[in-house]
Amino acid sequence: MLRMISANLRHGRADPAALAELVMREEAALVAAQELGPRQADALAALLPHGKLEPTADGLGLGLALARPGRVERLVLPHRSALVAELAPEAWPGLGARIEVVNLHLSAPHTRIPWSWRDRRGQVAGLLAHLAAQPLPRVLVGDFNATPRWPAYRRLAAGLDDAAVIAAARRGAAPARTWGPHPRAPRLLRIDHALVDGLDVVELRVVPLAGSDHSAIVVDVAG
């Protein structure tokens, strides 16, 4: 089983100590971070020494922190690129085959209008081309800035399984929302997602993260 966390870190303002505590408490082997800042990058690197962390101060920072070695490359997309990790069973005991984890942060539709809409279309198109060219078991995680009603989500989710829907159905509940207008606000929208192809969804939980307007998602998959 592989346990991962995906978290939007609110332009680097999420509490680094709370992030580190979450990683240790959940015993996560992989963290996909969006809006990664330098302080959160330092906290992640101290716990998960492999992968690629690209912190910035402008909200464009992205990172994939890994407990074990794995190849991580940048997938060039408009405005914000994605990060793609390939995990091999030789380095990751418990994996039955090579798997891919993609960390994505789609441009928000309400900023930089009209360029954000062009960027979103380009990001989705570029990612779909990558998925079609690389048929691997995979998890696509991150802040999509899109609820399940939005076209960007629907295009990305076509042919993939929504881990939150699967996990919530087992509990007889609706998937939990992940975003609110400020860190202490109720969560109003589900815009952070984990989409799975070729892997079994063991569990998905939404957990608070101090200092962020997003809750983190903790995802367990097996293959």
User: What pLDDT is stored for residue 153 in this prediction?
Assistant: 97
Instruction: Compute the average pLDDT of residues 147-169.
Output: 96
Q: What is the mean pLDDT of residues 66-80?
A: 96
pLDDT over 90 (residue 59): no
Tell me the pLDDT of the chain averaged across its residues.
95
**Average pLDDT of the segment spanning 88-94:** 92
Q: What is the pLDDT of residues 21-48, one digit of tens each?
A: 999 999 999 999 999 999 999 999 999 9
Is 213:35 a contact under the CB 8 Å cutoff? no
Q: Provide the pLDDT for residue 175.
A: 98
With b meaning 16 or more CB within 10 Å and e meaning fewer, what string describes 120-142? beebbebbeebbeeeeebbbbbb
Residue-number span of the structural domain to which 81 is assigned: 2-222
Number of domains comprising the chain:
1
Residue 58 has pLDDT above 90, yes or no: no
Q: In the prediction, which pLDDT does 112 show? A: 67
Q: Does 167 have pLDDT greater than 70?
A: yes
pLDDT band at residue 109 using 50, 70 and 90 as cut-offs? confident
pTM for this entry: 0.96
User: At 11, is the pLDDT very low, low, confident or very high (cuts 50, 70, 90)?
Assistant: very high
Evaluate if residue 116 carries a pLDDT over 80: no
- pLDDT band at 115; cut points 50, 70, 90: low
pLDDT at 211 over 90: yes
CATH number at residue 56: 3.60.10.10
* pLDDT of amino acid 114: 73
Backbone φ and ψ of 83, nearest 5°: -115, 135
Which pLDDT band holds residue 113 (cuts at 50, 70, 90)? Answer: low
